[in-house]
Amino acid sequence: MQDLMTDETEPVGKGLGPNPSRLLSAAIANCLSSSLLFCLSKARVPVNDLSASIETTTRRNEKGRWRIASLEVRLHPSLREEDLDRSKRCLELFQDFCVVTESVRKGIDVQVHVDAGAPGIAGPEGKPS
């Protein structure tokens, strides 16, 4: 597996990679695309090409913190006209099989642990461990 570099824009980072919000957006678009392709392949509907785009809208919450407010995904499968009727069932089902999208829609319990005793991290006295 290759490393994936993420980065924030200035002043926090240098913009050398996608930020976490862009990664989440990309994960949703990719997961939905994969789910649709999987369903269509099971239905024996050939897909000539598939592209996806996602528009991520951010806004400040009541505390003034930036949050992802909404995501709008557009999938563009290239199907033969004679396969359109057979693809309808997949268009009704595929979203439910996307792990990422359905997890985000339902909310994810996130547990955060900070191990201040790790090497190189300042301990309770402000000294590196």
- Above 70 in pLDDT, residue 68? yes
Taking a C-beta distance cutoff of 8 angstroms, is the pair 36, 75 a contact?
yes
Dist. CA 80–CA 42, nearest whole Å? 16
Structural domain total, the chain: 1
Domain with 76 in it: what CATH number? Answer: 3.30.300.20
Dist. CA 24–CA 4, nearest whole Å? 13
Does residue 38 lie in a domain region?
A: yes
Mean pLDDT on 67-76: 94
**pLDDT one-digit tens code per residue, 18-49:** 999 999 999 999 999 999 999 999 999 999 99
Does residue 89 lie in a domain region?
A: yes
Measured CA distances, 43 to 39, 74, 97 (Å): 6, 21, 15
**pLDDT one-digit tens code per residue, 96-120:** 999 999 999 998 888 887 787 655 5
Dist. CA 102–CA 116, nearest whole Å? 33
Q: What is the mean pLDDT of the chain?
A: 88
Total-model pTM: 0.80
